Amino acid sequence: MEAFKKLLQETLDDNRIEMLMESREYTEDERVYMRGYNAALNDMLEDFLAEYDEFLKNANKIHLN
């Protein structure tokens, strides 16, 4: 789970840098796609962070079933 979180954060950081300092010239459609993709990744990260602590708390409980 930590590796997923780290990968997601690194991908977001890389994409933000690419949008600021483009490695090539992008079409407007590609820029729109990149903004949407980054927004989706950011939403995923926010959801992950919001639910991760609850997941860990429940995963570490002893179940008697």
What pLDDT does residue 58 have? 79
Q: DSSP of 7-19, one letter per residue?
A: HHHHHHHHHHHHH
14 token code pair: 């890389």
Consecutive H or E run containing 1: none
What pLDDT does residue 52 have? 86
pLDDT of residue 8 exceeding 90, the answer is: yes
Distance CA 35, CA 15 (A): 9
Summarize pLDDT for 21-63 with one digit per residue, the tens.
999 999 999 999 999 999 999 999 999 998 888 888 877 777 6
